[in-house]
């Protein structure tokens, strides 16, 4: 209940630590409407990056130490500063960051911040503030991912 109450507050208030309200992120990418998956996915990733950029993820700190947690936070903050996903220059950095987090048996898995993102999304969906993409949009996006060659 505490996590959901906090997520509800994060959803509806302009928290200075987050930089802007999650609803603002969602509305700028169209998440508040019935939209294709790609903008929805980008909005969720952007929210996660903003949370990660604010403070070291406690799961990473517990598994890998404070210094590594701070390194992850700094790299997430760099992506936020590069205005991912709007900036073309930020895409290769994002891919590198993603690969780095997945390396070494996923030891850098930002699990605590992911839980916060899930709670914010649940609260937003429950309140009707955002809507899932349609089934057709999801299938189309999955097909695109499967058949688009990766760099």
Q: What is the pTM of this model?
A: 0.70
Give residue 8's domain range: 2-147
Distance (Å, rounded) from C-alpha 122 to C-alpha 47?
14
Q: What is the pLDDT of residues 101-112, one digit of tens each?
A: 999 888 999 999
Nearest of 9, 66, 100 to residue 57 by alpha carbon: 66
- Report which DSSP code applies to 82: T
Q: Which residue has the tokens 């996590």?
A: 3
Tens-digit pLDDT profile for residues 119-143: 888 887 787 777 777 788 778 877 8
**Residue 48 belongs to what H/E stretch?**
helix 37-54
pLDDT for 15-45, tens place per residue? 444 444 455 555 544 444 443 345 777 888 8
Total domains in the fold of the chain: 1
Q: Is the separation of the CB atoms in 97 and 75 below 8 Å?
A: yes
Number of other CB atoms surrounding residue 63 within 10 Å: 15
Nearest C-alpha neighbor of 150 from the set 92, 76, 104, 103 = 92
Round to whole Å and give the CA distance between 57 and 48: 11
């Amino acid at each position: 209940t505490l996590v959901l109450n906090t997520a509800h507050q994060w959803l509806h208030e302009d928290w200075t630590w987050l930089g802007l309200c999650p609803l603002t992120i969602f509305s700028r990418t169209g998440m508040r409407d019935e939209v294709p998956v790609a903008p929805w996915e980008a909005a969720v990733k952007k929210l996660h990056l903003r949370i990660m950029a604010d403070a070291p993820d406690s799961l990473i700190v517990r598994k890998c130490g404070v210094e590594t947690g701070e390194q992850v936070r700094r790299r997430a903050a760099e992506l936020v500063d590069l205005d991912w996903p709007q900036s073309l220059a930020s895409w290769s950095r994002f891919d590198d960051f993603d690969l780095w987090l997945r390396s070494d048996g996923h030891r850098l898995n930002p699990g605590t911040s992911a839980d916060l993102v899930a709670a914010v999304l649940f609260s937003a969906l429950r309140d009707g503030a955002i809507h899932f993409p349609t089934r057709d949009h999801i299938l189309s996006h999955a097909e695109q991912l499967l058949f688009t060659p990766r760099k």
